Amino acid sequence: MKKLIQTLKNIYKIEDLRYRIIFTLGIILIYRLGSKVVLPGVDPEMLTAFAQRTTQGVLGLLDMFSGGAFSNASVFALGIMPYISASIIIQLMTIAVPYFQRLQKEGESGRRKMNQITRYLTVIVLVLQAPAYLTQIPDEAKIMAQTPFLLSSIVILTSGTIFVMWLGERITDKGIGNGISLIIMIGIIARFPFAISSELTDRLNGQGGLVAFLVEIVFLFLVFVVSILLVQGTRRIPVQYAKRIIGNKQYGGVRQYIPLKVNAAGVMPIIFAQALMFLPLSFARYGAGGQIMSKFVAAFASYTSIWYNLIFALLIILFTYFYTAITINPTQMAEDMKKNGGFIPGVKPGKRTAEFIDTVMSRITLPGSIFLAIVAILPAFAGLLGIQQNFAQFFGGTSLLILVGVVLDTLQQIESHLLMRHYDGLMKSGRIKGRAGGYASSI
């Protein structure tokens, strides 16, 4: 406690850090207030049935990521996920489209152009998703004529998400960083008190009682610890172990390390995969007259269905390999080692070293991606065991992994400011590692 109090005092002493934290809290307050502002033309008193419907299935996930704005029919109802979807598309195009490959190699100017294209694509996604969302709002809650309501609401929902993007960018530029990630995390945290109180009430009034609830809390804590280890990955891999992975027994007795992680992608594969899983439901139009969803959409509307979790897990594995490939360049690592006089014992510098690193990275990424996928689908098993969905989503899954990753990144940012001014960090045992292994990363 004494260490914590002293750290808080040190944070207050650093004017720049104090300003950034206060600025970030102010932006978060604006975001949370905006999530309570209901769309013009919607009667909030008539949204009870709609709010109950959005607690089930994938709609409940959408509501959690928006911090309740989805079920409130808020101006921020679509949240930040359309921007994530657009970002995924642009990231994939850097592999297949030469124009985007050139932009990626142009440094800062290319990054600005890609960000601008991502924003334009986000608007297109919003214009397509907004009508699908509006058709889910009950007709009795709409107090405007259909056409004016539809047109005005599309503009407002699109503007709302663009504004949330702008808030995230302000946090990144003038706050403590990781703006978009922090916006997502705040939405998840906002739903946690409701989820835990709802589960406690359900257990006290139903089967298991307080004992069952305490068992759930203990298991949740264990999953939380595992998630921290999974997000951080391993700090470094011994060369000897790496050679065993690829079947090379000729290694020396000196214990040396290479800077590779079992989970180099962090939580980004989870976010990417979840954004894609939202798309079928986002574009599905529910008619007020009881239009039946197609079997395809119905299969993806339940987070406990076999097809949903199977495809979700496969997407996570694929995106883990994809994100690892674009963040780790074995050829560049081999060249840097050669320039600095470094080498891997028993492996020739240059091309052979690059091939060695690439092979090791491919082998260790597979178990890391599978483990990440298993943790991601744990909420489905929790739901099958009778835990309410709102609370089950915190047993691993997207919510907990994102929460852990962003918290670690944020603490790492704060610690960097402290260490830069010769204050003690947040932990005595060493520096906090974020998703990027010591460097803060943002979505």
- Cα 113 off chain centre by: 24
Output the pLDDT for position 259: 62
User: What pLDDT, on a 0 to 100 scale, did the predictor assign at position 271?
Assistant: 77
The residue assigned the tokens 């915190």 is: 394
| 129, 80 Cβ separation under 8 angstroms | no
Nearest alpha-carbon partner for 435 in 267, 305, 293 = 267
Choosing among 1.10.3370.10, 3.10.20.880, 3.40.50.300, 1.10.1060.10, the CATH entry for 2-420 is: 1.10.3370.10
Angle at 71 between CA 69 and CA 72, to 5 degrees: 60
- The secondary structure element, H or E, covering residue 334 is helix 330-339
Secondary element (H or E) of residue 255: none
- Reference 77, options 159, 190, 170; nearest CA is 159
**Which pLDDT score is estimated for 258?**
61
Given this model, what pLDDT does residue 432 score? 56
pLDDT at 282: 62
Strand partners, 324: none
Q: Are 440 and 178 in contact (CB under 8 A)?
A: yes
Give yes or no for residue 363 having a pLDDT over 90: no
**Mean pLDDT on 101-112:** 82
401 CB-contact burial (10 Å; exposed 0-12 / middle 13-18 / buried 19+): buried
Categorize the per-residue pLDDT at 167 as very low, low, confident or very high, splitting at 50, 70 and 90.
very high
Residue reference for tokens 């744990």:
378
pLDDT digits (tens, 9 = 90+) for 11-62: 778 888 888 899 999 999 999 999 889 999 888 888 877 777 776 666 777 7
* Closest listed residue to residue 309, CA positions, set 221, 225, 396, 247: 396
> What pLDDT was estimated at residue 286?
43
Between 289 and 186, the higher pLDDT residue: 186
- pLDDT, residue 123, reads 92
pLDDT at 159 (0 to 100): 93
Q: What is the mean pLDDT of the chain?
A: 78
**pLDDT for residue 438:** 36
Residue of 283 and 62 predicted with greater confidence: 62
Per domain, the residue ranges of the chain are: 2-420
Residue among 78, 84, 115, 69 nearest 398 (CA)? 84
Whether the predicted pLDDT of 233 surpasses 60? no
What's the CA gap between 284 and 131, in Å, rounded? 10
| Stronger pLDDT, 340 or 198, i.e. the higher one | 198
Query: Among all chains, which residue has been given the structure tokens 């996920």?
Result: 81
List Cβ neighbours of 337 (8 Å cut-off, separation of 6 or more): 343, 344, 349, 353
- Give CA–CA dist 302/309, Å, rounded: 9
Q: Which pLDDT does position 106 carry in this prediction?
A: 81
| Predicted TM-score of the model (pTM) | 0.75
